[in-house]
Structures are given as structure tokens and as C-alpha cells.
Amino acid sequence: MDIIIDFANKIFKPLIDLGAPPMMFIILAFLAMLMRVKPSKAIEGGLKLAIALTGMGAIIGILTGSFAPALQDFVKSTGIHLSITDVGWAPLATITWGSPFTLYFLLLLVILNIVLLIFKKTNTLDVDIFNVWHLAIVGLIVLYYSNNNLLLATLLVLLIGVMKFINADLMKPTFNDMLKMPSTNPTTTTHMNFMLNPLIMVFDKIIDKFFPFIDKYDFDATTLNKKIGFWGSKFAIGVYLGAFVGLLGQQSVKEIFTLAFTGGMCLELFSVIGTWFIGAVEPLSKGITDFMSKRLKGRTFNIGIDWPFVAARAEMWAVANILAPIMLIIALVLPGNKILPLGGIIAIGLTPALLIVTRGRVLRMVIIGTFMLPVFLWSGTIIAPFVTKTAKSVGAFPKGISDSVLITHSTLEGPVEKFLAVTIGKLGSEFRIQNLFFVIVFLAVYILLFAWYVKQMKRRNEGYKNTVKNKSSEKQIV
Amino acid sequence: MIKILTACGAGINSSHQIKTAIEEEMRNRGYDVAVDAVVIKDITEEMLKEYDIFAPIAKPDFGFEIYIPIVEAGPILYRIPSMSEPVFDEMEQIIKSINK
């Protein structure tokens, strides 16, 4: 491993010294060309990543520049220690893609996918290259806490990678059922979102056993969504959370308006810059997909794409809307939380998994979601120093901002995996029996819970199979 | 000019892949199209009236009727040309029938 790192350092050192945006421009363009993408397209992609990194830095600067002092006053006047700025997912995705290690993890997962397909351990071809960042950030956290122990990071990424492919296969019948897809439709997803399914399922089973009557009180999600209208949109949330910070931080009226409008503007702009960044990864995604599908010709498989094909279900939005104010209240009182929810307050890192496990029962989604939110807030809090430092190292954090300013994402997918990464990373930096014990126990619980979930899902999928059979026999009788 | 609306979870990833693919393919086929990509939950009845075609990943339930033609654009996301072809063909048929 050391030799690889040394070798990588020799090649990358002059590149790294250029700073992240130019370095990633060169690497990404080069890699895309290697995947036989046309040079002009490859360069376009590289440039878009560079301007996205620069752009995210600029907006993070504006947001923290106005929010950080107000949050300090907020802490002083309320005594509530919420000092971390929640920038949402787009800046974190950009920052993660700004690290060359992400490309290493990408390569690893592409190879893993091909191997699993060849040995028929999965039936999913993952073409959602962009979302590799969710697993890459887990690897980066291990690296950060373990003084760059690449072996540990690699092992954890591979372990979760395998589980994600298994999960994509397991969820397929539920997707067919909930989105009325014919069985010929190959859509599934390996998204990190759904690695929370096992934990959600524990709560779902508890409700099954002790509180099944709550399903009687379920309500229609579309009606609620229609009523909420624009109040749930990004800029509106930015505006009233800005005003909220300003009011509780006892700022002047003028300053409250400035905070409100700055919040709204930044949340909109993070999305705009996010789209540049999608364009940046696109040529690489196309190249890798072409490469994989050519090598797997003649096989039919499911295709893993990004999760929003489930966004067609109204329940996930109704629940996201209901959970937003609940999350704000939890954030104010939860011990150990330091995040004031802003960019991540519409919890799309949580509600798709709730939807799939409960199969769209809104009340269950809200109740279980409420129990999940603290996990996200704690996880977002502990990774904040890592996120901030990584943002700085990839040039997506403005200079001249106080060292005490931290950024994070409040509802980042895979909160449990973040704790796992920190625990394993700490073992890598300091090999003590106590740390080893934590890692073993954590891993054992994590894997056993997943195994239990696999069993439950297989049982569910048997049920689906039987209903299909019954339906077809009914037809025969008729 | 044919106006098309697409959408996904954050209005950033999937919907932009669809937007780019439709714009490129339809222009290659000689049609003048403009695609907007938004967050699916922000779509209202009024907003849909501004467009000629709605191209979501999968057909959503908004709780109101959708009066414009719908083309399910999900297969574009597979990035496999033979699978996205039918989506583009269906869209071309509709554009021809709109006859703007």
C-alpha cells in the first residue's frame, strides 16, 4: 500500500500543488479521454468541475460570511449551541468530487460491480456514477481519521459497496409494486439513501407488532403537498430560516432581511452550481457505462440509477414537508447536536428509504422519520470538522473566514456509515484494544442487522411473487 | 419552439441528464426545443400550463389532472442508446402532432 501511495504522490504532487480546481480539471479530462470520450467533451467536463468547485467556494463564502456571525449571536442570546452552517448536499458532493481519492473509489466500485455481475452475486449494473460520492465520502472520512490508511478505507468502501448491490436487488420488487413498473422495467438504485432501510425496518416491525392501529389514521399525501405550495421550496426555506436566525440572534431589522434573502439566494445558487457539476461528471459516466455494457453484452440485468424515480410518489414529499419543522425543533433541543438545519432541512436523504420500507404509509414514515432525525443530526455534527477541512483542501472554502466556522450537511445519506467510518478511522490512527473492540462490535451489529433485513426483504419478495402467481391463475380461471 | 418540463428529486442530477439528452437528440432530429428541469415537488397546475410536454422520470401523482402530453423519460437515465431511443421516438411523434 505504501508503495502505491508513494508512487501516487510522485505523480500527483506537482498536480496537487496547483490546487484542487486545476488539478481535478486535468485529471477528470484525462480520465474521460482514457474512457474514449471525445477530447472536446472531456475538456468541457473537466472545466465544469473546476468552475463548480470555485463557484461552491464563492457561495459558501457568502453564506458563512453572513450566517456565522449571526449564529454566534444566536448562541449568545439563546444559549443554544448551534454554530455549524448546514449547506445541504450539493456543496458536499462537489467537495467530495474535488478529491482525487474519489476517482480511486470510483474505479474500485466499477471493478466490484463487474466482478459481482460476472459471478452472479448481483443482478444490478450501476450506471449512477455521480452518486459514487456517497461512498467515496465514507472512504475519505476513514482516511481523514486514520492518517490516510488507504487499506482500511478500501475495505470499508468495498464492504458497503457489496451491501448496496445486494440491497438494489432486494428492493426491485418493491419498486415495481410502488411505481407500477412492469417486470420488464430494469430500474433500480444502489443509492446510499437505502442503507438506512435495516434500521427503519426495526421500527416498522415494532409498529407492526405493537401499534398496527395507527395505519387507520393514514392520510392522503397529495392534498397536503398541494396546500404547502411554494412554502416548501428551496428559496422560501432559505428566507424563513435566515429570518429565524436573525430574530433569535437579535439582529437589526435590516440585518434580518439581509440574512433571509442571503439564505434564499444561497440555497438556490447551490442548486444552480450543482447542475454545472452534473455536467462535469457526465462524460465520465457515459464513458464508464459504455465500457461496462460492452463487456457485459448479451446479459440482461437491472440498471441502477439515481433515486428520484421514486420521487413520483407524493408520500415522500409530504413526509419531507412534515419532518422539516420537526427537525428544527429537534435540532434546538437535541444534546450533542450543533447544526442549525438550513440547506438539508427537506430530508431527501431520509424520506425515500422511509417510503420503501413502510411502502408509503405516511404516518409510519413521519413517526419513524422523527426517530431517525437525531441520527442524521449527530452524524452531520461529527463530520463537520472533516467536511470543513476537506472543503478548504479542495479550494471550495473561501480564505479569510475564521477557523471556528464549520460547515456540514444536516441530512446526509448514510448517517450510520459515517459513524462506522469515524470509528474505523480512529482505529487506524491509534491501534488500541479498546478501539478494536468498538470496531468489531459496531461492524458485527451493522452486518447482523443487514442480514436480518435481507431475510425480511426476501420474505416480502416471496409475497410479491405469490400475488403475481395468484393473479395469473385468476386470469386462467376466467 | 416546443417547451418541455422535466423534474427530479433536487432538480439537479437526474432531471439535468434528461434535459441535456432531450435537447441534444431533438435538435439533432431538427426540432427546436427548450427543456426546463425543476424539483418535482415544486410543480403546480399553473406551471404545467406553460409547457407543451411533461417528461418526468415516472408518472407522478400530483392530485390534479395533467392536461399536456406525458412522456416517461426514465429510460434516458440508463445511458444505453437502444433503451432511450423509444423515448425520443415517442417525443418526436408528439412534437409532430403539436405542429408548432
- CA of A130: which chain B residue's CA is closest? B13
For an interface test with A, give the residue of B65, B76, B78 to mutate (most A CBs within 10 A). B78
- Domains of chain A, by residue range, sit at 2-179+189-463
The pLDDT, as a whole number, for residue B100 is 60
- Tell me the C-alpha distance between A222 and A227, whole Å: 9
Find the length of chain A. Answer: 478
Segments in A334-430 forming alpha helices (H): 351-358, 362-393, 415-429
Higher pLDDT, A76 or A15: A76
Mutual orientation of helices B81-98 and B14-28 as an angle, nearest 10°? 70
The answer to whether the CB of A50 falls within 8 A of the CB of A397 is: no
CATH number for the domain that contains residue B72:
3.40.50.2300
How many helices (H) and strands (E) are present in chain A, helices listed first?
Answer: 16, 6
The answer to whether the CB of B21 falls within 8 A of the CB of B35 is: no
pLDDT-derived band at A402 (thresholds 50, 70, 90) equals: confident
- Looking at the complex, does the CB of residue A312 fall below 8 Å from at least one CB of chain B? yes
The pLDDT, as a whole number, for residue A471 is 62
Q: Is the pLDDT of residue A405 over 70?
A: yes
- Looking at the complex, does the CB of residue A166 fall below 8 Å from at least one CB of chain B? no
The answer to whether the CB of A21 falls within 8 A of the CB of A53 is: yes
For A418-454, write each residue's pLDDT tens digit: 999 999 999 999 889 999 999 999 999 999 999 999 9
Higher pLDDT, A395 or A346: A346
- Burial class from Cβ neighbours inside 10 Å (0-12, 13-18, 19+) for residue B3 reads middle
* Rounded mean pLDDT, A152-160: 97
Count up the domains in chain B and report the number: 1
Long-range contacts of A450-456 (CB under 8 A, 24+ apart): A450/A163, A450/A198, A452/A198, A453/A197, A453/A198, A453/A201, A454/A166, A454/A170, A456/A201, A456/A205
Grid look-up 418541455 returns B4
- What value does the mean pLDDT of chain A take? 90
For B41-90, write each residue's pLDDT tens digit: 889 888 999 999 999 999 888 888 899 999 999 999 998 888 999 999 99
C-alpha cell at A453: 433485513
pLDDT-derived band at A348 (thresholds 50, 70, 90) equals: very high
Grid look-up 439582529 returns A251
Percentage of chain A modeled with pLDDT above 90:
64
Segments in A119-252 forming alpha helices (H): 132-145, 150-178, 197-210, 221-228, 234-248
Contact B57 A89 (CB under 8 A): no
Q: DSSP secondary-structure letter at A310? A: G
Residue (of A276, A273, A122, A271) closest to A188 by Cα position: A122
- Chain B residues with beta carbon closer than 8 angstroms to that of A222: 61-63
- Tell me the C-alpha distance between A241 and A341, whole Å: 8
Grid look-up 448517517 returns A415
Considering only CB atoms, B78 lies closest to which of A89, A131, A303, namely A303
DSSP character string of A30-87: HHHHHTT--HHHHHHHHHHHHHHHHHHHHHHHHHHHHHHHHHHHHHHHH-----EEE-
Is residue A284 helix, strand or coil?
helix
Percentage of chain A modeled with pLDDT above 70:
96
* Rounded mean pLDDT, A367-387: 98
Helix (H) or strand (E) holding B5: strand B2-8
pLDDT-derived band at A472 (thresholds 50, 70, 90) equals: low
Q: What is the ipTM of this complex?
A: 0.88
The answer to whether the CB of A299 falls within 8 A of the CB of A185 is: no
Least confident range of A70-79, A121-130, A170-179, B71-80? A70-79
DSSP character string of B32-94: -EEEEEEEGGG--HHHHHT-SEE--SS----SS---S-B---GGGGG--HHHHHHHHHHHHHH
- Tell me the C-alpha distance between A300 and A321, whole Å: 38
For an interface test with A, give the residue of B22, B41, B65 to mutate (most A CBs within 10 A). B41
The pLDDT, as a whole number, for residue A146 is 95
**Residues spanned by the domain of B65:** 2-98
The pLDDT, as a whole number, for residue A154 is 97
Q: Is the pLDDT of residue A207 over 70?
A: yes
Contact A305 B78 (CB under 8 A): yes
Residues 6+ apart with CB under 8 A from B78: A127, A186, A303, A305, B84
- Chain A residues with beta carbon closer than 8 angstroms to that of B7: 311
Which of A209-223, A246-260, A302-316, A372-386 has the highest average model confidence (pLDDT)? A372-386
The pLDDT, as a whole number, for residue A477 is 46
Compute the C-alpha angle B49/B50/B52, nearest 5°.
Answer: 85
- What value does the mean pLDDT of chain B take? 92
